[in-house]
């Protein structure tokens, strides 16, 4: 470990960390925006879900590197390529949780809302979705954490991220660089995870705290 | 040209099907590199998951730890081991085992811990020993979940064995990494398509396995994970 490498390269390290954070977080957020309507439809019309789930299982089996490569003709060796690929992966973990979250709302709660005069849309927005928040955020957490970790693979097609430190560190046989990359990816992922746990607490003030 | 036409043109060239480093050879190598770590991981994770799940204590801790595990970037781990160990079998084996253990462990643990307490009581009431309870009641009931865990791990391993080509491992990733290095999109697309086909075959294999192995009484309440 060569500690002096860190201060003399902090600008590079900071830039790579920002790029990695962008590549990990943005796809999960886009994934959430797409997953909500898909999940709501799948929870409402049950026949729609099994085919969606099959597609999700197959897509999730595609290796990230293969998906990055498949998108090269359309998007080139760009950030957009990695963002789109990781968005697709985040859909695979978020959609099932949106469906599970909505299905976990007890029927009695739904009926009580209806009896109070709530229409289907208002009931969805003010009763069902808020109650599904913990499960939905559970999926978002997996999406963000694995997205940040997978973003480093984008370096193999030349999209800059903390993965640069792995590849450069290997080529120069310089472990310090690899340590820094590993620690930053893990810290970044866990930091985003903590933020999401905090968001969940703010959004579900009624939840029982231990 | 699209990804598929590139991939198809390359895969259908007869020259890529003969000699050293041909498609069949790398495909077999890829299967070998994937099967070995998966078997090792299963041997480690199924007994320990069953033990933790049977006791019931520590199950939540295991599940949380396994989720945090996802944060570890495989590429970084591979590269680190190359710098530490050089190119030994352990260099590629260790990261793949490390990747494959958590899904199997978590699903075994959840499956065994989630067995209906009434069923457990009935097993004890019939005079079963702790071993018999685990082997003859809890593990069969947990089997659908364990298979989902094995499937997830198998897919992780197949995908990551591709990345391992970057540190010099054979397998389908070779075509991708070498193609990228020489700016030839044909082998890159072809290799990627073959990996995708392999991954889908793994999915199909596990769908078949769960149909064969899961006791008839448990079918129809399979959980997805």
Q: What is the pLDDT of residues B18-47, one digit of tens each?
A: 888 889 889 999 999 999 999 999 999 999
pLDDT in tens, B8-26: 889 888 888 888 888 988 9
Which two tokens mark A68? 């990055």
- Would you say residue B224 lies in a domain? no
- pLDDT value of residue B169: 84
Question: Is B169 in contact with B82 (CB distance < 8 Å)?
Answer: no
Give the best residue of B11, B30, B71, B147 to mutate against chain A (max A CB count within 10 A): B71
Contact B6 A73 (CB under 8 A): yes
Average pLDDT for B58-80: 84
Question: Is B103 in contact with B152 (CB distance < 8 Å)?
Answer: yes
The band of A209, judged by pLDDT with boundaries at 50, 70 and 90, is low
Q: Quote the domain boundaries for residue B167.
A: 25-215
The band of B220, judged by pLDDT with boundaries at 50, 70 and 90, is low
The band of A210, judged by pLDDT with boundaries at 50, 70 and 90, is low
DSSP A67: H
pLDDT in tens, B169-201: 889 999 999 998 888 888 999 999 999 999 899
Main-chain phi, psi angles of A162, to 5 degrees: -65, -15
pLDDT in tens, A159-192: 999 999 999 999 999 999 999 999 999 999 999 9
pLDDT tops 60 at residue B221? no
The closest alpha carbon to A69, from B84, B147, B176, B126, belongs to B176
Average pLDDT for A115-127: 94
pLDDT tops 70 at residue B49? yes
The band of B225, judged by pLDDT with boundaries at 50, 70 and 90, is very low
- What domain count does chain B have? 1
- Would you say residue B17 lies in a domain? no
Tell me the ipTM for this assembly: 0.83
SS3 assignment, position B207? helix
pLDDT in tens, B120-169: 899 999 999 988 998 999 999 999 999 999 999 999 899 888 888 888 88
Domain harbouring B146, CATH code: 1.10.3720.10
Count of Cβ atoms closer than 10 Å to residue A44 Cβ:
13
Contact B202 A186 (CB under 8 A): no
Of A72, A155, A167, the CB nearest to B185: A72
- How far from A58 is each of A68, B12, B61, B62, B101, CA to CA, in Å? 16, 24, 30, 27, 21
Return mean pLDDT, chain A. Answer: 92
The closest alpha carbon to B157, from B175, B172, B139, B177, belongs to B172
Query: In the CATH scheme, what is the homologous superfamily, with its name and number, of domain A15-203?
Result: MetI-like (1.10.3720.10)
Contacts of A170 in chain B (CB under 8 A): 79, 82-83, 167
Average pLDDT for A3-29: 94
- Would you say residue B1 lies in a domain? no
Contacts of B83 in chain A (CB under 8 A): 169-170, 173-175, 178
Counting every residue written for chain B, the total comes to: 225
Contacts of A20 in chain B (CB under 8 A): none
CA dihedral of A196, A198, A203, A204, whole degrees rounded to 10: 110
- pLDDT value of residue B30: 92
């Amino acid at each position: 470990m060569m500690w002096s490498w860190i201060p003399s390269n902090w600008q590079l390290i900071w830039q790579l960390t920002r790029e990695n954070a962008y590549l990990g977080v943005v796809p999960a957020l886009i994934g959430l925006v797409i997953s909500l309507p898909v999940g709501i439809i799948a929870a409402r019309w049950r026949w729609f879900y099994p085919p969606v789930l099959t597609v999700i299982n197959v897509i999730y089996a595609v290796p990230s590197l293969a998906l990055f490569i498949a998108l090269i003709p359309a998007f080139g060796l760009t950030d957009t390529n990695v963002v789109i690929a990781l968005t697709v992966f985040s859909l695979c973990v978020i959609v099932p949780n949106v469906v599970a979250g909505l299905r976990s709302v007890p029927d009695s709660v739904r009926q009580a809302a209806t009896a109070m005069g709530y229409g289907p849309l208002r009931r969805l927005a003010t009763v069902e979705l808020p109650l599904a928040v913990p499960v939905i955020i559970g999926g978002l957490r997996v999406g963000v954490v694995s997205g940040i970790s997978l973003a480093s693979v984008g370096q193999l097609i030349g999209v800059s991220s903390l993965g640069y430190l792995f590849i450069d560190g290997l080529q120069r046989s310089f472990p310090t660089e690899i340590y820094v990359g590993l620690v930053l990816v893990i810290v970044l992922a866990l930091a985003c995870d903590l933020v999401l746990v905090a968001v969940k607490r703010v959004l579900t003030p009624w939840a029982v705290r231990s | 040209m699209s990804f598929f036409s590139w991939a198809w043109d390359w895969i259908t060239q007869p020259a890529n099907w003969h000699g050293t480093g041909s498609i069949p050879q790398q495909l077999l190598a890829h299967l070998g590199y994937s099967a070995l770590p998966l078997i090792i991981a299963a041997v480690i994770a199924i007994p320990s998951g069953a033990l933790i799940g049977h006791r019931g204590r520590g199950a939540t801790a295991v599940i949380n730890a396994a989720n945090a595990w996802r944060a570890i970037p495989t590429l970084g781990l591979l590269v680190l081991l190359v710098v530490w160990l050089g190119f030994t079998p352990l260099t590629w084996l260790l990261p793949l085992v490390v990747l494959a253990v958590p899904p199997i462990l978590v699903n075994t643990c959840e499956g065994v811990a989630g067995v209906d307490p009434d069923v457990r009581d009935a097993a004890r009431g019939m005079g079963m020993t702790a071993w018999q309870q685990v082997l003859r009641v809890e593990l069969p009931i947990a089997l659908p979940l364990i298979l989902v865990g094995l499937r997830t791990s198998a897919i992780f391993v197949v995908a990551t064995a591709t990345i391992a080509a970057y540190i010099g491992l054979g397998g389908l990733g070779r075509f991708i990494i070498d193609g990228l290095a020489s700016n030839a999109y044909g082998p890159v697309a072809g290799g990627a398509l073959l990996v995708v086909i392999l991954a889908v075959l793994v999915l199909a294999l596990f769908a078949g396995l769960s149909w064969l192995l899961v006791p008839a009484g448990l079918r129809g309440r399979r959980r997805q994970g």
